[in-house]
Amino acid sequence: MTLQASFTLQGHNPDVLTCIANLSNDEVFTPPEFANQMLDTLEQAWAESNAGKSIWADSTVTFLDPFTKSGVFLREITRRLTEGLASQIPDLEERVDHILTKQVFGIGITRLTSLLARRSVYCSKDATGKFSIAKSFDRDWGNIWFDRTEHTWTGRRKERRSNPLTGDEELVEQVGTGKCRYCGASEGEYARDEFLETHAYAFIHTDNIKARVNELFGADMQFDVIIGNPPYQLDDGGHGTSAAPIYQLFVENALALDPRYGIFVTPSRWFAGGKGLDAFRSRMLGDHRIRGIVDYPKLYEAFPGVKIRGGISYFLWDRDHDGPCRIQTMWDGQPAGEAEERYLDAYDILVRWNAAVPILEKVRAKNEPTLDARVSSRKPFGLPTNFKGNPNAAGMSEPVKLYANQRVDWIERGELPINRGWVDEWKVLMTRVQGTSAAVETKFLGRPIMAGPGTACTETYLVAGRFDSSREAANYARYLETRFARFLVSLRKSTQDAARGVYAFVPDLPLDRLWTDELLYERYDLTAEEIAFIESQVAAHDATLLDVPDPDDA
């Protein structure tokens, strides 16, 4: 194939990069269409900051994808530069060679993806091979680097053992029990031989990312644009939301390189939750250089076939920006409402829906206490989810009815590790994990369970409230069922996890009455449009609430 053909046939259907299966839910290939949407966002921002000039017509701009997989970002950048620089460098071969050797750079995350990226960008896995469209390289990896990196194990357990030669006791490190000091990977899972990938990503396994990049590409290299889709988490015995994320480590190191622009796609869990993401979220919300966020809340929409709970989003970081962030939510391929500019640090989490902000402001204007002060932490009675009690109360001296995972057991009161005094109170229980595998979440909370005196629960549930009377408990349970309360929960609930923190926007109201959605809408002076938005987001529960007596009969 000629050099000219390799670029003119980019529109040929199908594009091979749309046909490659993802490595996993953690290392997701970016669809070309999505990559181009990100590049369109970058192009617009550059033009707005540079008197309308095109970034693709500048032969000095440098680009880095430090977590390249398929090479789609680098390929599409190359294609755009090839078109944009045509008048400056008329000869196609010279133009392409300049772009690939002077402007486009990448770091592979595995050996396989580095070869794939080189094939996508250079048309050859060897940048110096005869089929490569880059002609000036003197190294086979070109500008897309990869080399095997090892984890750095720390924190190994130590055991006392007798020295077989001297008989003296000594402390011996137990190989396989450590964690990587950079990414937290388990040594038992990731201490691998030379034939397996270590997944010790070089970009985050360093104490000085600037020095590391200088080693790879030259001490005088300063990247204008850093772009990409980092690995999301390591499969390290956890799964789904229980596995520790690592994408924030890539983003932090990328921004530490001080590019002119950074644009990255990540899971949206950092908006309101995510294991170990509190510090990252605080930093992101307080960074007024984040110029724009495009958010895809709907499961599978941005990356078809990939289940990323909470959806995904991409953000544009602009080194010279100091102001509000433009937020746009996408739904079924179309903008969901108007994009709005607002400061991200208005709350301790990012409220993803623009239409939700005025509703939340009306609620918070009353300065009422919130339900997170009522709701228990995990393991309210100290019992894990897998705890199994007795099938009946026969022979027990102080039997306690135990709400467990999809069953009811019995336990002796004295066997409860903590909070035995709660046994005698009326309680409202809520499941700690709530969500479905559907593309759209509509309930956000499960049905409340009324648990009277003589009851306890395992970690499957949280004690959402404790009361002296069944009337108060019933009113509280009915309140938690309202669309209004569940809507406020939804603003903080980014995954299936419904921990205490998701209740922090829900006002703690007097329980001397039965709250309905109509009364709540009136209390907070919501408009017809605001009510319609709430009800478009949150489905009504079934009419009958099991196990909750009518307060008038209590």
Q: For residue range 299-324, list pLDDT tens digits in order.
A: 889 998 888 888 999 999 999 999 99
Q: Is the pLDDT of residue 368 over 70?
A: yes
Res 413 pLDDT > 90 = yes
* Burial class of residue 473, CB neighbours in 10 A (0-12, 13-18, 19+): buried
pLDDT at 179 (0 to 100) = 94
Q: Which helix (H) or strand (E) holds 323?
A: none
- Are 106 and 68 spatial neighbours (Cβ–Cβ below 8 Å)? yes
Per-residue pLDDT for 241 more than 80? Answer: no
Tell me if residue 209 falls in helix, strand or coil.
helix
Q: Tell whether the model's pLDDT for residue 468 goes beyond 50.
A: yes
What pLDDT does 239 receive? 44
End-to-end CA distance of the chain: 81
pLDDT for residue 16: 55
Whole-angstrom distance, CA of residue 525 vs CA of residue 456: 39
Least confident of 1-15, 35-49, 337-351, 507-521: 1-15
User: Bigger pLDDT: 521 or 195?
Assistant: 521
Query: What's the CA gap between 117 and 112, in Å, rounded?
Result: 9
* Structure confidence at residue 193 (pLDDT): 84
Give residue 230's pLDDT band: very low, low, confident or very high (50, 70, 90): very high
Please name the residue that has the structure tokens 């569940």: 486
Say what the pLDDT of residue 1 is. 42
Range 383-408 average pLDDT? 95
Q: Which runs of E-coded beta strand occur in 449-506?
A: 449-451, 455-457, 461-467
Asked if 125 and 115 touch (Cβ cutoff 8 Å), the reply is yes
pLDDT recorded at residue 236: 58
Mean pLDDT of 444-451: 95
Q: What is the pLDDT of residue 434?
A: 83
Tell me the percentage of the chain whose pLDDT exceeds 90.
78
CA separation for the pair 270, 284 (Å, rounded): 9
Q: What mean pLDDT comes out for the span 399-420?
A: 96
pTM: 0.89
What is the Cα–Cα distance from 117 to 528, expressed in whole angstroms?
A: 52
Share of the chain above pLDDT 70, in %: 91
Q: 193: part of which helix (H) or strand (E)?
A: none
Among 452, 499, 507, which Cα is nearest to 482's? Answer: 507
The pLDDT value given to residue 25: 52
pLDDT at residue number 158: 85
Report pLDDT digits (tens) over 14-31. Answer: 565 655 555 555 578 899
Check whether 238 has a pLDDT greater than 50: no
- Region 360-371: mean pLDDT is 98
Tell me if residue 333 falls in helix, strand or coil.
coil
Is the pLDDT confidence value at 87 over 60?
yes
pLDDT greater than 60 at residue 554: no
| Residue 161 pLDDT class (50, 70, 90 cuts) | confident
Going by pLDDT thresholds of 50, 70 and 90, the confidence category of residue 416 is: very high
Residue 169 confidence (pLDDT): 79
Among 54-58, 271-275, 460-464, 515-519, the least confident range = 271-275
- Does residue 151 contact residue 190 with C-beta atoms inside 8 Å? yes
pLDDT band at residue 219 using 50, 70 and 90 as cut-offs: confident
Q: What is the mean pLDDT of the chain?
A: 91
Q: Is the pLDDT of residue 139 over 90?
A: yes
pLDDT in tens, 516-551: 999 999 999 999 999 999 999 999 988 654 444 444
Nearest 10 degrees: CA dihedral of 427, 433, 437, 440? 70
**CA–CA distance, 153 with 477 (Å, rounded to integer):** 49
pLDDT at residue 553 is higher than 60: no
Strands 104-108 and 63-68: parallel
Q: Is the pLDDT of residue 477 over 80?
A: yes
The domains found in the chain, sorted by start residue, are 3-149+201-352 (3.40.50.150), 150-198 (no CATH), 371-553 (no CATH)
Lowest mean pLDDT among 115-124, 166-175, 195-204: 166-175
Q: What is the phi-psi region of residue 473: left when phi exceeds 0, alpha when psi lies from -120 to 50, beta otherwise? A: alpha
Tell me what the mean pLDDT of segment 78-101 comes to. 97
pLDDT band of 9, cuts 50, 70, 90: very low
Contact 504, 370 (CB under 8 A): yes
Type of residue at 175: V
- Predicted confidence band of residue 373 (pLDDT cuts 50, 70, 90): very high
